């Protein structure tokens, strides 16, 4: 077998992980979750979960990946001889399902970039969104996006993924910072910041059974956890680096970028002619950034140009995430089945494209909801929960040994990490999985029944 690939540089690994984390989750999913679950109240719970759950779990994936040098299925086979091995499959299946709809939404973002370039944002945002999200055009943009994903992943770790994230991630940061500065000059900025940044503790207390699982699912999605992406990316690390330090940088950048998106989106929205009540009503669904923002872009000065820059930035962010999901599935075929990278990429890319066609063609967003509920609210949490139990309670040595490698003096931090996994992470994930299972059952039976 050919020698397994590795990252060329430390920055390459960090940028790839940040590129994976920053994507539609930050820009498309985050604002409408904020809108749906109580504004700033959601933000507070989300930030707490990033620290308490997200950080320990990203370290689990990093240590397992670097310890085994394998894709998620191979990694679990290496560290377990029992039925825990099957966790690897949860990851690969979740990746397959998530990429199939992620690519569809990314295709719509691409389409909205084109609308901007054509000066075509409609004053009736809902009608334009309806026309974009179904039918052959939506299938076509899904196909174009998947072709780009296949091209990058086909070139491999160094020449494909590492090369492209070194261009994409700085571009995302610079473009977003520029947009946030511009948004701060809009006359509505003060009012928008107040809406976005003043949490109401009463809202959190009254709605915790809906806010907590939604915020946890968002924390997992945005950090690309529960799907083996961070296992796979860490498996290409050749050296003994300080994984905790890298995790702080990655989690910190992802969170800062999600937060910045709010600083762009809300001032732009408030400067359009929408009332706050309308924004909140549209905010309650996947159409949010498309409808509300494009409508706002249609009536502010230089709106088309700004819109093209905004949606163009989001397209790049989506691509740097999509390649990481694809790499999970492709690395499985390469490591475990001995398939070469290019045929593996073409095969998986085509299969994922076909699986996403119903989501792309269906204009009602029902398939999108079914895929999102299943993969995001159930599979991601399940995968992360099982792996946290395994490393936290059963194979503690592996995690501690690997984490300690790049850290000169781990001291009590290793034990603190294991206990964070054992109790807060496991208990919270069990509660959330239960609540999500009920929620998914209700949502899906509502669509089918
Ligand atoms: N973290 C990505 C985002 O926020 O858009 C989405 C994602 C990528 C989820 C990779 C899961 C994953 F494994």
DSSP codes, 120-160: ---SSHHHHHHHHSSHHHHHHHHHHHHHHHHHHHHT-IIII
> Residue 206: pLDDT band by 50, 70, 90 thresholds?
confident
- 221 Cβ inside 6 Å of ligand 1: yes
* Neighbour tally for 412: CB within 10 Å: 8
- 44 Cβ inside 6 Å of ligand 1: no
Domain annotation covers residue 19? yes
Which residue's CA is minimally distant from atom 12 of ligand 1?
Answer: 224
Average pLDDT over residues 129-158: 95
Structural contact between residues 394 and 112, judged by C-beta atoms closer than 8 angstroms: no
pLDDT score of 197: 81
Average pLDDT over residues 386-413: 91
- 387 Cβ inside 6 Å of ligand 1: no
Residue 163 has pLDDT above 80, yes or no: yes
Which domain CATH number covers 99? 1.20.1740
Q: What would the pLDDT profile of 91-109 be if each residue is shown by its tens digit?
A: 999 999 999 999 999 999 9
* Nearest CA-CA partner of 321 in 155, 158, 145, 175: 145
Residue 282 has pLDDT above 70, yes or no: no
- 230 Cβ inside 6 Å of ligand 1: no
From 25, 30, 33, the mutation candidate for ligand 1 (largest count of ligand atoms within 8 A of CB) is 25
Average pLDDT over residues 326-336: 95
Distance CA 320, CA 161 (A): 8
> Residue 275: pLDDT band by 50, 70, 90 thresholds?
low
- 25 Cβ inside 6 Å of ligand 1: yes
Residue 228 has pLDDT above 90, yes or no: yes
pLDDT score of 205: 76
Residue 33 has pLDDT above 90, yes or no: no
Say how many Å lie between the CA of residue 38 and the centre of ligand 1. Answer: 23
Distance CA 157, CA 141 (A): 25
This prediction has a pTM of 0.92
Residue 187 has pLDDT above 60, yes or no: yes
Which residue's CA is minimally distant from atom 10 of ligand 1?
Answer: 224
Residue 429 has pLDDT above 80, yes or no: yes
The more confidently predicted of residues 396 and 203 is: 396
Angle (CA) 391 13 289, round 5°: 90
Residue 410 has pLDDT above 90, yes or no: no
* Nearest CA-CA partner of 208 in 94, 45, 321, 317: 45
Residue 124 has pLDDT above 90, yes or no: no
Distance CA 55, CA 416 (A): 12
From 153, 258, 325, the mutation candidate for ligand 1 (largest count of ligand atoms within 8 A of CB) is 325
Residue 166 has pLDDT above 70, yes or no: yes
Judged by DSSP in three states, 360 sits in helix
Domain annotation covers residue 204? yes
Domain annotation covers residue 387? yes
- Between the alpha carbon of residue 366 and those of residues 13, 127, 362, 369, 374, the distances in Å are 36, 17, 8, 5, 12
Residue 86 DSSP symbol: G
- Between the alpha carbon of residue 277 and those of residues 91, 127, 196, the distances in Å are 39, 19, 14
Structural contact between residues 243 and 63, judged by C-beta atoms closer than 8 angstroms: yes
Say how many Å lie between the CA of residue 325 and the centre of ligand 1. Answer: 7
Average pLDDT over residues 277-292: 70
pLDDT score of 276: 57
Number of domains comprising the chain: 1
- 79 Cβ inside 6 Å of ligand 1: no
pLDDT score of 192: 83
Domain annotation covers residue 117? yes
Residue 284 has pLDDT above 70, yes or no: no
Residue 249 has pLDDT above 70, yes or no: yes
From 31, 224, 233, 318, the mutation candidate for ligand 1 (largest count of ligand atoms within 8 A of CB) is 224
The more confidently predicted of residues 276 and 171 is: 171
Say how many Å lie between the CA of residue 223 and the centre of ligand 1. Answer: 6
Structure tokens of 259?
């937060």
Structure tokens of 371?
């895929």
Highest mean pLDDT among 177-191, 289-303, 363-377: 177-191
Distance CA 14, CA 349 (A): 25
* Neighbour tally for 114: CB within 10 Å: 14
Which residue's CA is minimally distant from atom 9 of ligand 1?
Answer: 224
For the chain, helix (H) and strand (E) counts, in that order, are 25, 0
Residue 1 has pLDDT above 70, yes or no: no
Which residue's CA is minimally distant from atom 11 of ligand 1?
Answer: 224
Structural contact between residues 104 and 363, judged by C-beta atoms closer than 8 angstroms: no
Angle (CA) 333 356 341, round 5°: 20
Say how many Å lie between the CA of residue 409 and the centre of ligand 1. Answer: 32
* Neighbour tally for 251: CB within 10 Å: 22
Atom of ligand 1 nearest to the CA of 254: 4
Domain annotation covers residue 231? yes
Say how many Å lie between the CA of residue 23 and the centre of ligand 1. Answer: 7
Domain annotation covers residue 17? yes
DSSP string spanning 353-378?
Answer: HHHHHHHHH-TTSHHHHHHHIIIIII
pLDDT score of 2: 62
pLDDT score of 287: 81
Q: What is the extent of the structural domain holding 360?
A: 10-448
Domain annotation covers residue 2? no
pLDDT score of 129: 92
Domain annotation covers residue 4? no
* pLDDT averaged over every residue in the chain: 89
Average pLDDT over residues 422-446: 86
């Amino acid at each position: 077998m050919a020698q397994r690939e590795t990252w060329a540089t430390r920055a390459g690994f960090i940028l790839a992980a940040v590129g994976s984390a920053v994507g539609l989750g930050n820009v498309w999913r985050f604002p409408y979750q904020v809108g749906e679950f109580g504004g700033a109240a959601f933000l507070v719970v989300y930030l707490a979960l990033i620290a308490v759950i997200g950080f320990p779990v990203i370290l689990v994936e990093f240590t397992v990946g670097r310890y085994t040098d394998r894709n998620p299925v191979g990694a679990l086979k290496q560290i377990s001889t029992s039925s825990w091995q099957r966790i690897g499959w949860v990851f690969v299946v979740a990746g397959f399902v998530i990429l199939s709809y992620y690519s569809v939404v990314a295709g719509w973002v691409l389409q909205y970039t084109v609308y901007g370039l054509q000066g075509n944002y409609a004053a009736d945002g809902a009608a334009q969104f309806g026309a974009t999200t179904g039918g052959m055009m939506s299938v076509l943009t899904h196909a174009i996006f998947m072709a780009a994903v296949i091209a990058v992943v086909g070139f491999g770790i160094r020449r494909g993924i590492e090369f492209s994230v070194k261009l994409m991630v700085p571009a995302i940061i610079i473009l977003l910072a520029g947009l946030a500065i511009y948004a701060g000059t809009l006359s509505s900025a003060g009012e928008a910041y107040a809406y976005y940044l003043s949490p109401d503790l009463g809202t959190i207390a009254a709605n915790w059974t809906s806010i907590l699982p939604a915020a946890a699912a968002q924390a997992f999605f945005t950090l690309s956890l529960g799907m083996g992406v961070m296992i796979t990316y860490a498996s290409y690390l050749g050296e003994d680096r300080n994984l905790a330090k890298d995790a702080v940088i990655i989690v910190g950048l992802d969170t800062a970028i999600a937060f910045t998106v709010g600083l762009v989106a809300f001032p732009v929205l408030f400067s359009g002619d929408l009332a706050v009540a309308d924004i909140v009503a549209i905010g309650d669904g996947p159409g949010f950034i498309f409808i509300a923002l494009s409508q706002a872009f249609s009536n502010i000065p230089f709106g088309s140009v700004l819109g093209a820059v905004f949606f163009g930035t989001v397209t790049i962010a989506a691509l740097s995430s999509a390649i990481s999901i694809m790499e999970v599935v492709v690395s499985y075929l390469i490591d475990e089945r001995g398939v070469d990278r290019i045929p593996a990429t073409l095969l998986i890319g085509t299969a994922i494209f076909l699986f996403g066609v119903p989501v792309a063609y269906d204009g009602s967003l029902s398939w999108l909801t079914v895929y999102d509920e299943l993969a995001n609210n159930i599979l991601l949490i399940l995968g992360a929960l099982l792996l946290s139990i395994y490393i936290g309670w059963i194979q503690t040595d592996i995690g501690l040994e690997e984490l300690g490698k790049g850290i000169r003096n781990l001291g009590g931090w290793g034990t603190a990490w294991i206990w964070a996994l054992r109790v807060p992470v496991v208990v919270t994930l069990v509660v959330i999985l239960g609540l999500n299972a009920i929620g998914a059952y209700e949502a899906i039976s509502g669509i089918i029944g």
